[in-house]
Chain A
Amino acid sequence: GQQLNQSPQSMFIQEGEDVSMNCTSSSIFNTWLWYKQEPGEGPVLLIALYKAGELTSNGRLTAQFGITRKDSFLNISASIPSDVGIYFCAGQSRGAGNMLTFGGGTRLMVKP
């Protein structure tokens, strides 16, 4: 099946720092989604991207659909303690029956 590689696997940063993480695939995707999961809860959808080169923001979060259509990036500006969690990317290729493929996640820890 399709594979998504997320990096880094984990990050430990100081409050106020900016954060960057990415997701790469060997396959072309037509949709990229980013989710955040906090301990003991289900994932929450953050941003959806549908077009190569698209840049979309949600508050302090900004995600980009890579122009090669094989990658996507998520940036968090001025991190705060409540940003702690696991961030998952998910990609979907075109075609009937194609479902989302999830990456393994980036665990973010923020030191106050």
Chain B
Amino acid sequence: NAGVTQTPKFQVLKTGQSMTLQCAQDMNHNSMYWYRQDPGMGLRLIYYSASEGTTDKGEVPNGYNVSRLNKREFSLRLESAAPSQTSVYFCASSEAGTWSRQPQHFGDGTRLSIL
């Protein structure tokens, strides 16, 4: 019963490097999300996908791109990493309808450090 699976769990990058964070859910949910969490702050939405083939910017999208590869997978890409992107990244999913735009299930996060 995996739920939302994120890879990798930890990553250290140098400024300017690129990388893709992977996320997959096995609950047949329509909506998927990428959040970042910084110390002492709540979660901030980076991007949202209401369904396969659609993506929308959230509160802090600059410096990120996303791809909703299929219904299960939603990836987050940093093209040129910056120290300000050091954070813990969470992927989440939810059903359609009432739960659209309200994340129900979160992954365990990817801890990303950029030097």
Chain A residues with CB under 8 Å of chain B are 1, 4, 31, 33, 40-45, 48, 88, 90, 92, 97-105
Contact = CB atoms under 8 A, between A and B. Distances in A.
B90 interface: yes
B77 interface: no
B61 to A, nearest CB: 12
A88 B42 contact: yes
Interface string B48-76: 10000000101100000000000000000
B106 A44 contact: yes
Given A102-B44, A104-B42, A105-B42, A42 B107 contact: yes
Interface in B83-107: 90, 92, 101-107
24 contacts: A4-B42, A31-B102, A40-B109, A41-B109, A42-B4, A42-B92, A42-B107, A42-B108, A43-B43, A43-B106, A44-B106, A45-B104, A45-B105, A90-B42, A92-B101, A98-B101, A99-B48, A100-B45, A100-B101, A100-B102, A102-B42, A102-B44, A103-B42, A104-B42
B58 A99 contact: yes
Contacts, number: 49
B39 to A, nearest CB: 10
A102 B40 CA distance: 12
A31 B107 CA distance: 23
Nearest to A6: B42
B109 A42 contact: yes
**Which of A45, A97, A101 has most B Cβ within 10 Å?**
A45
A33 B103 CA distance: 10
A100 B106 contact: no
Contacts of B45: 99-100
Contact of A42 (B41, B58, B90): B90
A52 B59 CA distance: 26
Contacts of B102: 31, 33, 48, 92, 100
B103 A100 contact: yes
A13 B40 CA distance: 20
Contacts of B56: 97
